[in-house]
Structure 1
């Protein structure tokens, strides 16, 4: 195994199994199940929901990466944990026999409390493709602020349910700009390997990649990148690559090859339900209440009083519960955690929170685009929905681009990309008392640096290949998908809003453990960094605070 593997995307000479074996984690890879469906019913089913009047030693708000790490490690330390999740458990098949719906045919399961879909790529051939759907507590939230739409997972497993699973460790030379107060040696020697092992990270077999029809789009992306002088890299993922090879061979039900990504994946993806949450449940100390939303956390005689709304599947509040907790871990995601803390500070519930609460929020520099290829460069009608490669121009141009799928089921002759860029802009959450909500002051014009950085890659490729940008994917004659982010980060930044381990120091027993801690950018897809930072922080919290 290459000695540089933990520092960035895995090179083409490393096997997926070698990458996993080389992480050296004490967690034990054998504990990670290889099939999503085999374990989902057991690992995702919640016990009876939390009762009003209950007392819990540790309450975790959210079941995404940071919350799942905290729950597992607390339980292993002998602490009983209750997790509160706003979304559904996602453990019951619909009438079609599947838990999740297909990206190409969104239904009531697709969106969080919307009556019309809001797809990130919402046009095709210049025609709008969004459709009406029943209002339901679906899996993907498209939360709209003044200048940006933020996509977030809703359900037990959080963002792990809806992302592409690209498990990228930042290059070590970039880490100082990501988390300047964190010891890089500890992260790269201990916590990144621990996170990669716990998540079940692996890499596509390069030989299979070169031969399979479902990654023709990535091979075209590789050819174009390399002919323009850009490094092409294989990117680790949490998909079960053996299962995907069986999908391609036709011996198992298709999942990645059936376009399942944006609204959940029924088979091969190792979401948190199959990794950290499964192991947390196995301790016997962790329970989860889905369709519950925390509205208040207030000090009360050395503990915290937590107010929780119970929801039904149309989003109505069916009960209001009050419980107490010795410690509360905020893990509702960058937006959820930030909004809750900003509101609690502004309304006088937690007035001692410092002035950094709500600040330092960024979009990880996300911007999307498509390119129209020549007829001799088809990208394939069958495309795996799980991306496995990228183009690295971070050092020279401030951009890292996923070679992304466009799984329409037809040949499009299009190359599609999600870029992560070094966008310097940071927004702030603030309390709007008149409207009774938290606002975000992101400005649409702040995406301009991201576009310019992405163009350092794609202008050159277009010039070399004699191709043009697609203008039919995000509107009418619109090149850039500059209206969104998949990677919200910040709002309760480490060592600013909290101490250097996520403690909200004015309130002993309150902690932030999720992506709100990271100031706006990780240079790559963020969930491995969120997981590794949570591993670092909870280890210190358990050692010193318990």
Structure 2
């Protein structure tokens, strides 16, 4: 990173922190001219004008996750003023307890998006209901949307899923990427867009020598060695967690986050979430106005060709502060696979955007996600200190009939549990469709539980080999109901507005000039690894294509 880029990122981060310190949920940063150049300082953050008073704006970006952050930054760098709408809050200022995010094992309202009780992936431990807790309803950082056949975890806040994921920054295998997105030039992706995404996200790989001796990585080494003894290959997994910080955490030289059991409800230290990378860069341009706690409810197109959005503003406790409208020449839908798909399906089927293709809402998949855990023998403890940021995976994607990339994940209980836990990313061809119910005005996903069978069978086949070799068994006390496999949720929702089917090849929706999708909903259900690097790189490619096309309204 160049010195000028480092300075811009520092200033952008300071701007976000200044806005949070000032209690601003809507704000902008104004560039100041000095000595013939454009500069920013942290004091340049100011309250944004109320959304309903803006009139027509050039470009609106809905969301603030990976695709949204890329889109806002590149538009702003090109001189386009951007209004960014995010339904969650800004997470940049410590609360009264001195922490931005709550502890995973002692959650409060900050944990979940307007829930009365936490809904963690693990339901029990030793068969006891000790994982989930009652909490006050609040605009928390993690949401779990429960459809009839599957639940989907989403990040809520400025930075989207980057706030709640495990930082695993994996570039997919080129051969599989070419199968999933054959319309996209793979040479460009792997020579230009993936490297750009990795640089800007701050992706790195943990020190192998430190990994081999670190107390916090014992759980990963135990699972890795069992995989090797069973004939499987493993690989280090790149990360956006600051590994130097993590090493200092273990040495008790820095406040702990990954080593303080923090992950799904946010990390207080160490993680390079989007508010510290792309979004910081975007704010530092001085051309992005950020409206957090603003949820888009409705989208329609006017006779002029402009897009009109109905938006609800709330406070952190869910009180409605205003319901307003904003008009734009160009609209970028970057609310994620679920958010973008639901809004567009509703717009089409309710008659607001009847021009949208029938392909909108189709092609959704859960990236083949399924979880399981094994019990290790007593002479192979996994350790009482475990990093919540995983750095190791089992790479069995070359298997001819049941390819899988299996993350070795922690179970950081703070006590010895002898558990090796896994999140499988499998090749599952099953897909689902978002459907609008006119009588309720809601959109649902028609995924059926039996569509998970391929993913369960794939992970089971792999872990059966390890269990047989090691003489071990599955844990059935973690996921509720005595289940060995958790196939009722996903961390990796993909699809719903597929590139080249619902859209053209740079994300413009067919039938709606000036309306773009630039997020995970473009990817048809599977990418074979944790998807956020792919989402970021594809968004870089697409927004460059939009800018080159000269189509901005």
In structure 1, the gaps of 5 or more residues are: 1-24
The CA distance in 1 between the partners of 2:494 and 2:264, in whole Å, is: 19
Question: Using a 3 Å threshold, how does the CA distance of structure 1 residues 493 and 309 change in structure 2: closer, same or farther?
Answer: same
Match of 2:101 in 1: 100
Match of 1:510 in 2: 515
The CA distance in 2 between the partners of 1:308 and 1:455, in whole Å, is: 45
Question: Using a 3 Å threshold, how does the CA distance of structure 1 residues 177 and 26 change in structure 2: closer, same or farther?
Answer: farther
Match of 1:534 in 2: 539
Match of 1:270 in 2: 272
Residue number among 382, 387, 393 corresponding to 1:384 in the alignment:
387
Residue number among 495, 499, 517 corresponding to 2:504 in the alignment:
499
- Superposed counterparts of 1:107-126, under 5 Å: 107-126=108-127
Deviation at 1:477, TM superposition (A): 1.7
The CA distance in 1 between the partners of 2:19 and 2:284, in whole Å, is: 8
Deviation at 1:481, TM superposition (A): 0.8
Question: Using a 3 Å threshold, how does the CA distance of structure 1 residues 311 and 43 change in structure 2: closer, same or farther?
Answer: closer
Deviations 1:468-517 (A, max 9, x none): 00000001421011110000000001000001110013111110000000
The CA distance in 1 between the partners of 2:144 and 2:347, in whole Å, is: 24
Match of 2:307 in 1: 304
- Superposed counterparts of 1:310-321, under 5 Å: 310-321=313-324
Match of 2:455 in 1: 450
Query: Mean Cα displacement is larger for which, 426-435 or 89-98?
Result: 89-98
Match of 2:473 in 1: 468
Question: Using a 3 Å threshold, how does the CA distance of structure 1 residues 435 and 469 change in structure 2: closer, same or farther?
Answer: same
Match of 2:71 in 1: 70
Match of 1:360 in 2: 363
Decide whether the 8 Å contact of 1:43 with 1:278 is kept in 2.
Answer: no
Match of 2:375 in 1: 372
Q: SS of 2:17's equivalent?
A: helix
Decide whether the 8 Å contact of 1:75 with 1:81 is kept in 2.
Answer: yes
The CA distance in 1 between the partners of 2:220 and 2:305, in whole Å, is: 55
Question: Using a 3 Å threshold, how does the CA distance of structure 1 residues 462 and 174 change in structure 2: closer, same or farther?
Answer: same
The CA distance in 2 between the partners of 1:475 and 1:437, in whole Å, is: 29
Deviation at 1:317, TM superposition (A): 2.4
Query: Mean Cα displacement is larger for which, 312-321 or 87-96?
Result: 312-321
Deviation at 1:92, TM superposition (A): 2.6
TM-score (structure 2 length as normaliser):
0.92
Decide whether the 8 Å contact of 1:34 with 1:270 is kept in 2.
Answer: no
Alignment RMSD: 1.9
Match of 1:60 in 2: 61
Deviation at 1:457, TM superposition (A): 1.6
Deviations 1:257-291 (A, max 9, x none): 00111001111000000000000001000111110
Deviation at 1:39, TM superposition (A): 8.0
Match of 2:258 in 1: 256
The CA distance in 2 between the partners of 1:470 and 1:36, in whole Å, is: 45
Deviation at 1:316, TM superposition (A): 3.4
Decide whether the 8 Å contact of 2:227 with 2:233 is kept in 1.
Answer: yes
The CA distance in 2 between the partners of 1:230 and 1:37, in whole Å, is: 42
Residue number among 331, 340, 357 corresponding to 1:328 in the alignment:
331
Match of 2:32 in 1: none
Residue number among 261, 264, 284 corresponding to 1:282 in the alignment:
284
Deviation at 1:53, TM superposition (A): 3.3
Match of 1:10 in 2: none
Deviation at 1:91, TM superposition (A): 2.1
Decide whether the 8 Å contact of 1:168 with 1:528 is kept in 2.
Answer: yes
Decide whether the 8 Å contact of 1:40 with 1:274 is kept in 2.
Answer: no
* 1:218 equivalent in alignment to 2:220: yes
Q: SS of 2:542's equivalent?
A: helix
The CA distance in 1 between the partners of 2:274 and 2:193, in whole Å, is: 17
* 1:394 equivalent in alignment to 2:397: yes
The CA distance in 2 between the partners of 1:170 and 1:43, in whole Å, is: 36
Query: Mean Cα displacement is larger for which, 162-171 or 498-507?
Result: 498-507
Decide whether the 8 Å contact of 1:39 with 1:274 is kept in 2.
Answer: no
Question: Using a 3 Å threshold, how does the CA distance of structure 1 residues 499 and 166 change in structure 2: closer, same or farther?
Answer: same
- How many pairs does the alignment contain? 522
The CA distance in 2 between the partners of 1:328 and 1:188, in whole Å, is: 28
Question: Using a 3 Å threshold, how does the CA distance of structure 1 residues 483 and 190 change in structure 2: closer, same or farther?
Answer: same
Question: Using a 3 Å threshold, how does the CA distance of structure 1 residues 31 and 37 change in structure 2: closer, same or farther?
Answer: closer
Match of 1:91 in 2: 92
Deviations 1:290-324 (A, max 9, x none): 10001122212131111100012232322101111
Question: Using a 3 Å threshold, how does the CA distance of structure 1 residues 483 and 29 change in structure 2: closer, same or farther?
Answer: farther
The CA distance in 1 between the partners of 2:314 and 2:11, in whole Å, is: 30
The CA distance in 1 between the partners of 2:293 and 2:332, in whole Å, is: 18
The CA distance in 1 between the partners of 2:240 and 2:106, in whole Å, is: 24
Match of 1:41 in 2: 17
The CA distance in 2 between the partners of 1:28 and 1:207, in whole Å, is: 33
Match of 2:482 in 1: 477
Match of 2:237 in 1: 235
The CA distance in 1 between the partners of 2:14 and 2:518, in whole Å, is: 29
Q: SS of 1:127's equivalent?
A: coil
In structure 2, the gaps of 5 or more residues are: 28-46
Decide whether the 8 Å contact of 2:8 with 2:284 is kept in 1.
Answer: no
Match of 1:51 in 2: 51
Deviation at 1:434, TM superposition (A): 1.5
Query: Mean Cα displacement is larger for which, 358-367 or 27-36?
Result: 27-36
Question: Using a 3 Å threshold, how does the CA distance of structure 1 residues 281 and 40 change in structure 2: closer, same or farther?
Answer: closer
The CA distance in 2 between the partners of 1:41 and 1:408, in whole Å, is: 32
Deviation at 1:252, TM superposition (A): 0.9
